[in-house]
Amino acid sequence: MIRYALRCEKGHDFDGWFRSSEAFSAMRTAGQVTCAACGSAEVEKALMAPAVAADTPAPRPLAEPRNPQEAALERLRRHVEETSDYVGLSFAEEARAIHEGERPARAIHGEARPEEARKLLEDGIPVAPLPFLPRRRAN
């Protein structure tokens, strides 16, 4: 995994983890790398300096938050996963069907292309981006 310091067009700084530099490029091109503060998909790598410690401690498990922001993000992720159904790539279709009464009302989360999410919002269907990628894939 590669951790990049990122910056959106509005100057918001945030971090992102990617499988490889190619994965970052592909996700960015597809509009899947967005600013956690404003949702902008105009994201670039920011200047980074390597962090090298003289006395390196033992690695922590990936699930252990490093700071209050990561702990809050992990609590949000856990809440979303425990209180909603993951519908994967069918998110836009499922959200529309629920809104139109074709399927039972329930909380859902999943994945949608930016243009699908925009269309849902334009049609008055309330959706919001989550500041994390799903841990599991259903579709």
Q: Please check whether residues 65 and 98 belong to one and the same domain.
A: yes
CB atoms within 10 A of CB 14: 18
pLDDT in tens, 38-49: 889 999 988 776
Segments forming the whole domain that contains residue 16: 2-45
Residue 50 lies in a domain: no
Tokens of 5: 């310091």
Task: Identify the residue whose tokens are 């259903």.
Answer: 138
Angle between helices 114-122 and 91-99 (to 10 degrees): 10
Pairing relationship of beta strands 108-110 and 2-8 according to DSSP bridges: unpaired
Q: Is residue 104 domain-resident?
A: yes
Q: Are residues 134 and 81 in the same domain?
A: yes
Both 39 and 99 in one domain: the answer is no
Residue 121 lies in a domain: yes
pLDDT in tens, 77-112: 899 989 999 998 999 999 999 999 999 999 999 999
pLDDT above 50 (res 138): no
Looking at the structure, tell me whether residues 94 and 137 fall in a common domain: yes
pTM of the complete model beyond 0.85? no
Q: Which helix (H) or strand (E) holds 119?
A: helix 114-122
Q: Is residue 110 part of a domain?
A: yes
